[in-house]
Amino acid sequence: MSSLMFSKEDNRFYIPSRGGNYLCYLVEKQEKLEVMDLKFDEFPASVYEEVAKLSSLSRTDHLVESPTGQLFLVKWYGEDSEVWMDSEKDDENEGSTLKHVTKKFMVYRAGVQSGYYEKTMIHTEDIGDLCIFLGHSQAFCVPVSSSPGLKPNCIYFVGRNFGVYDLTTKTCTAFSTQYDGPVRRSKFPYWPL
């Protein structure tokens, strides 16, 4: 579920490769696909342990551009966990089921472009006054100051589950309904632009 993104800054479409180590883009008028290498700066020592724990989780990669042209690569980690379903209405519906749970997001911002075919990506836990929206549509980024009610430095997500991830506190809060508990699916897992 990697996302296609149009960069207004570079005037081209990008899509992260499987594994998130390259950006693929179409060169206008040449009708051929080019690949740009992503070079990741060294992690701070505190992040190494977190990254090791994430290797067994599923991941999707998403590109998003801020209104000022800053490019971010967001890695969305989750796992399937077993949940016991207890139905008061019908004994036949009791049992366990799997549900996908979001565990963590890691954000990298594009640094100085090291060459025509290479971008340096820097791990960050601070996107400032911005919030990022991820779903099945193109990811987008908005300044919180222009949208009252949003929390800065957060990622709002919809997909197999729904919620908000605070980059500052590294906490994930699931959206829930009054009667059904956490929202787990939707026929429309998109954010309206």
pTM across the whole model: 0.80
Geometric angle at alpha carbon 105, from 120 and 154, rounded to 5°: 100
The CA distance from 137 to 2, in Å, is 10
Instruction: Say whether 51 sits in a helix, a strand or coil.
Output: helix
CB 12 within 8 A of CB 26: yes
Q: What is the dihedral of CA 115, 119, 123, 127, to 10 degrees?
A: 110
Token code pair at residue 101: 């749970």
pLDDT tens-digit profile of 37-73?
888 887 777 777 777 778 778 888 899 999 999 999 9
Per-residue pLDDT at 142: 93
